[in-house]
Structure 1
Amino acid sequence: MSRIDALINELCPEGVAFLELQELFDTKNGYTPSTTNKSYWAAGTIPWFRMEDIRENGRILDESLQQVTEEAVKGGKLFPANAIIMATSATIGEHALITVPHLSNQRFTSLALKPEFSSLLDMKFAFYYCFVLGEWCRNNTTTSNFASVEMSGFKRFRFPLPPLEIQREIVKVLDAFTELEAELEAELEAELEARRWQYKYYRDALLAFSDQDIRWAAMAEVGEFFRGRRFTKADYVEDGVPCIHYGDIYTQYGTATEKTVSHVRADMASSLRFAQPGDLIIAGVGETVEDVGKAVAWLGRDEVAIHDDCFAFRHSLNPRFVSYYFQTTAFHAEKNKFVARAKVKRLSSESLAKLTIPVPSLEEQARIVAILDKFDALVNDISVGLPAEIAARRRQYAYYRDRLLTFKEAA
């Protein structure tokens, strides 16, 4: 029997009390001080937390990437130290324990423990239990303009209150387990990054053809470009016409795909434009120069609707070969010369048509694709190699954490 089990048997054998979030915490929405008032952001000293802070520095934080001045604080009141910020829109469920007085942006709801419960709830324990809350949030969202948590249910979410001695013992165990898991994951991430660089090196070398005398051609010589037609996220449905939006190409897809993550209404079919099996679908716009020109080979059995900021490249080459070439350093160096660098970066079909591509024999294309498919699976497929090991570590940690945080409720 573990020490925690022994404590539960001794201190709360009949179960523990649960209280609603709104009973335990004062809640407050985050906000962004006016960005037009430059004095709010000049030499500020008050931490202002965004999702980027959690991504960059973890989940227990005492400093932020950006600071604001005192005059930027609404009503002169800061969120108190040792409060939890929970993302209740956009990156739902992400959270952090902030150990200093602070502000946060509007994605977050602040949970500050009411003073009368300070002797009943350890905030580090509450932080760990917010992983359970975060999962509840992801399963209880509304989708009007964008996903957000159903807040009336959020406020009724119930926290367990085991004796403080048990809470602190659980925190001690989870702190140690978190540190161990982070060390193991860092080692795996470093190994994965090394594999990615190795993969990039061999991909670029294979597709440079420096030791072969092959034909290079402008893309207009080996295929045609077709632009998609407009649809919006308001047109999305669960089951309809398969479609690919330009943003999905650099967030949802790899080298090739046989199915889509999105569908639009079936009654729109006559107004859409479609890519055919074997076409390369290319993002014509992006927030960065690197995003523009990302591509995915469409290998589905049927045609697929494409957004008007996408191009379909119809050709007689091996589609995976073309998609792999679009990932190379050489291709991006040439492509970058043609990107229109406005606020939104763009590539035209005329510019794409001028880019050059190697045209080896179909047998050589197939040979290269077979090699790169193995590399790609090892590095990127979540079910193969190091990514699977990292995912397994995270699942193991989440399972163990959830077991520790499961309590019988007292009658």
Structure 2
Amino acid sequence: MSRVNELIRDLAPHGVTHRVLGEVATYSDTRVDANELDPTNFIGVDNLLPNKGGKNDANYLPNTARLTAYQDGDVLLGNIRPYLKKVWLADKSGGCSGDVLAIRISDEHCSAITPEFLYYVLSSDGFFAYNMKHAKGAKMPRGSKQAILNYRIPVPPLQVQREIVRILDQFTQLEAELEAELEAELEARRRQYEQYAGVLLESAEDVPRVRFGDVATIVRGASPRPIQKFVTDGADGVPWIKIGDVPARGKYITRTAQRVTPEGAAKSRRVRPGDFVLSNSMSFGRPYISKIDGYIHDGWLAISEFEESFVSDYLYYLLRATPVQEEFARRAGAGTVKNLNAAIVRSVEIPLPTKERQEQVVELLDKFDALVNEISNGLPAELAARRKQYEYYRDKLLTFEEATA
């Protein structure tokens, strides 16, 4: 900070010039043929990462013939839902969809502002708050292209810009290293937990094994089609359980984002509080416990009527355990498309200890699970605090006293 202050004092003693973005930059008006693109240089809004995370390679290519071209040094903004803060400084040439804006410094101002400095200005929380304020639409807000060009940005001397970019690059690198360290620590704790759980859930010689289907009712969900016809906001709607309604590492289903009509429910499968659902889609083989009365589609299996044999929490830990998960995967088949159907789950053999032993295992695993969750909550909190600190210093670095006309 002291070096930046010295440079400003020497090079801009009367303040820093501010200009509206449209005076120094414009949107790309060049085009590229879609068939010239590949997953590494096509940018759709879906492969721009939220919270200024840069971009991933695309998992699809557009079917449009001509796209907006971007070039090295352009700032690419996701223009749908600006609050997601999707932004990337292009390091190559390529093409982007209509939901992505390619902002390019105009030729006559290339000597006045660097792409790296402009990227940091347009990735500031101040810019995104401005962009969201001027966005249009309620459910799917879209940034106003004209308002974006009217956003006022500082244009300090180039030496100041380069020093700020150097500092913020260092901050970004330190943040990435910290995040990697915290994620590695958390993953180590999770592996330790899984190993400990495996030992506790390991079947001793004197513990009988049973076919899962002999001690529980296991059925597949059902989907009314077309589902759009049955989704409703009406008061008579009932919860429609989807994979997105539970966090990746969550345990309980407590609410749903959508509801279906009674007619749709009649074509689906009901689950009651205490029933398990087992996924056969994105989080393959992952068990969840429903705390609500709802209905499931055919990407779920419902597990019920196990209470005579199993303590609910013990069954949850057992189904999550590595041996059972590996058995699910083995029986579901090789390749990218796996089919974990009800017959497979019914056929899997699982240990059936006494309920007293189940309660003992649950007590121990609950304690260890709480410790891992405490770490899981603590590490993101630490990371969030560091990010907040980073945002504070970035805002200070990008805030200048404006030169008087």
- Please list, as runs of the form range in 1=range in 2, the aligned pairs for 1:230-249 lying within 5 A after superposition: 230=223, 232=227, 235=231, 241-246=238-243, 248=245
> Which residue matches 1:119?
111
What is the aligned residue count?
Answer: 382
Q: Write the deviation string for residues 317-348 of structure 1: whole angstroms up to 9, x where unpaired.
A: 33332232222221122112332668753322
Structure 1 partner of 2:169: 175
> CA separation in 2, counterparts of 1:201 and 1:325?
13
Partner Cα separation in structure 1 for residue 377 and residue 274 of structure 2: 25
Q: Does 1:81 align with 2:81?
A: no
1:315-394 aligned at under 5 Å gives the runs 315-316=306-307, 317-339=310-332, 344-380=337-373, 384-394=377-387
The equivalent residue for 1:95 is: 87
More strand by share: 1
In structure 2, what is the Cα distance between the partners aligned to 1:194 and 1:30? Answer: 47
- Asked if 1:278 is matched to 2:274, the reply is yes
**2: CA distance between counterparts of 1:31 and 1:323?**
52
Q: Judge which range, 162-171 or 194-203, deviates more.
A: 162-171
Measured after TM superposition, the shift of residue 22 of structure 1 is 8.6
Q: TM-score, normalised by structure 1?
A: 0.74
Residues 285/183 of structure 1: CA separation in 2 closer, same or farther (3 Å cut): closer
The answer on whether the counterparts of 1:32 and 1:105 sit within 8 Å (CA) in structure 2 is no
Distance 2:272 2:314 in 1: 17
1:49-86, CA deviations, whole angstroms, 9 ceiling, x for partnerless residues? 5589877xx9789xx969xxxxx9959x9522211223
CA contact (8 A) 1:84 1:111 kept: yes
Is the alpha carbon distance of 1:246 and 1:99 closer, same or farther for their aligned partners in structure 2, counting shifts above 3 Å? closer
Match of 1:189 among 169, 183, 194: 183
Contact 1:243 1:264 in 2 (8 A): yes
Instruction: Determine the structure 2 residue equivalent to 1:160.
Output: 153
State the alpha-carbon separation in 2 of the partners of residues 228 and 260 from structure 1: 18
Structure 1 pair 12–267 and aligned structure 2 pair: CA distance change class (3 A) = farther
Tell me if 1:199 matches 2:199: no
Following superposition, the deviation at residue 47 of structure 1 comes to: 5.7
CA shift at 1:279, angstroms?
1.2
Deviations 1:88-135 (A, max 9, x none): 359953322123333456764322211133233221112122323456
Q: In angstroms, what is the RMSD of aligned CA positions?
A: 4.3
Cα pair 2:239 2:258 within 8 Å, conserved:
yes
What percent identity do the matched residue pairs reach? 28
How many Å separate the matches in 2 of 1:94 and 1:355?
44
Q: Cα distance, 1:269 vs. partner?
A: 7.5
Do 1:277 and 1:303's aligned partners in 2 also have CA atoms closer than 8 Å? Answer: yes
SS of corresponding position for 2:173: helix
Distance 1:233 1:266, change over 3 A: closer
1:356-395 per-position Cα deviation (integer Å, ceiling 9, x unaligned): 2222233333333333334444445676343433333333
Q: What SS does structure 1 have at the residue aligned with 2:351? A: strand
CA distance 1:60–1:218, shift in 2 (3 Å)? closer
Question: Taking structure 1 as reference, are residues 101 and 384 closer, same or farther at Cα in structure 2, changes over 3 Å only?
Answer: closer
Q: Are residues 357 and 403 of structure 1, via their aligned partners in 2, closer, same or farther at CA, if it must alter by over 3 Å?
A: farther
Distance 2:275 2:362 in 1: 16
Q: Could you state the TM-score of these two structures normalised by the residue count of structure 2? A: 0.75
Structure 2, unmatched stretches of 5+, are 59-63
Q: 1:187 to 1:28 in 2, by over 3 A?
A: farther
Q: Given residue 254 of structure 1, which amino acid in structure 2 is its aligned partner?
A: R
**1:238 CA drift (Å):** 11
- 1:15–1:408 contact (8 Å) kept in structure 2: yes
Amino acid at match of 2:167: V
**Equivalent of 1:262 in 244, 257, 261:** 257
Distance 1:206 1:221 in 2: 23
Counterpart for residue 303 of structure 1: 293
The 2-side partners of 1:60 and 1:355 are apart by 43
The 1:19/1:378 distance shift into structure 2, 3 A limit, reads farther
Q: Distance in 2 between matches of 1:256 and 1:98?
A: 40
Report the alpha carbon displacement of residue 313 of structure 1 after superposing the two structures with TM: 0.7
Contact 2:276 2:287 in 1 (8 A): yes
- Provide structure 1 residue ranges, at least 5 long, that are not aligned to the other structure: 35-39, 67-71
| SS of residue in 1 equivalent to 2:255 | coil
